[in-house]
Amino acid sequence: MSQLATVWSRYRSIPLVYRIGTAFVLGSLVGLAVGQPATQLQPLGDIFVQLLSMLIIPIIVFTLLMGARRLTPSKLGKIGGQVVGLYAITSALAVVVGLAVSNLINPGAGLELTEAEAGSAEAPDIVEVIMGIVPANPISAMAEGNILPVIFFVIVFGYALAVVQESDEVSEGVSRGVESIFDIMEAGAEAMFKIVWGVMEYGVVGVFALMASVFGQAGVDAILPFALLMATLAIAVTLHIAVVHLGGLVMLLSRQSPVDFLRGGRDALVTALSIRSSSGTLPVTMTNAEENFKIDESVYSFSLPLGATINMDGTALYQGVVAIFAANLVGVQLGLAEQLSVVAVAVLASIGAAGVPGTGLIMLTLVLTQLGLPLEVVGFVAGVDPILDRMRTMTNISGDLAVTTVVAKWNGAVDFASGVWGEGTPAATPADD
Sites of contact with ligand ASP (CB under 6 A): 276-278, 312, 315, 353, 355-360, 389, 392-393, 396
> Least CB distance from residue 296 to ligand ASP, whole Å?
25
> Least CB distance from residue 362 to ligand ASP, whole Å?
8
- Work out the number of other CB atoms within 10 angstroms of the CB of residue 12: 15
Nearer of residues 33 and 54 to ligand ASP, judged by Cβ = 54
> Least CB distance from residue 273 to ligand ASP, whole Å?
11
> Least CB distance from residue 319 to ligand ASP, whole Å?
9
> Least CB distance from residue 337 to ligand ASP, whole Å?
26
Nearer of residues 91 and 429 to ligand ASP, judged by Cβ = 91
> Least CB distance from residue 275 to ligand ASP, whole Å?
9
Nearer of residues 358 and 426 to ligand ASP, judged by Cβ = 358
Instruction: With CA atoms as reference, report the closest residue to 261 among 109, 107, 404.
Output: 404
Burial code (b: 16+ CB inside 10 Å, e: under 16) for 45-67 equals beebbebbbebbbbbbbbbbbbb
> Least CB distance from residue 355 to ligand ASP, whole Å?
4
For every residue of 254-304, DSSP letters joined together read: T---HHHHHHHHHHHHHHHHHH--HHHHHHHHHHHHHHTS-B-HHHHHHHH
> Least CB distance from residue 392 to ligand ASP, whole Å?
4
> Least CB distance from residue 382 to ligand ASP, whole Å?
12
Please give the Cα distance from 9 to 5 (Å, whole number).
6
Encoded amino acid at 29, one letter: L
Q: Specify the DSSP class assigned to residue 124.
A: P
Nearer of residues 287 and 315 to ligand ASP, judged by Cβ = 315
Please give the Cα distance from 82 to 90 (Å, whole number).
12
Phi, psi of 414 (to 5 degrees): -145, 145
Nearer of residues 20 and 420 to ligand ASP, judged by Cβ = 20
Nearer of residues 209 and 353 to ligand ASP, judged by Cβ = 353
Nearer of residues 181 and 310 to ligand ASP, judged by Cβ = 310
With the C-alpha atoms ordered 65, 196, 353, 98, is the resulting torsion angle positive or negative? positive
With the C-alpha atoms ordered 324, 326, 332, 336, is the resulting torsion angle positive or negative? negative
Please give the Cα distance from 191 to 61 (Å, whole number).
13
Please give the Cα distance from 48 to 192 (Å, whole number).
16
Nearer of residues 362 and 420 to ligand ASP, judged by Cβ = 362
Angle, nearest 10°, between helix axes 73-105 and 147-166? 160
Nearer of residues 90 and 396 to ligand ASP, judged by Cβ = 396
Please give the Cα distance from 55 to 77 (Å, whole number).
27
Burial of 340 (0-12, 13-18, 19+ CB in 10 A): middle
Taking CA atoms, 300 is separated from 334, 355, 375, 395, in Å, by: 39, 17, 38, 18
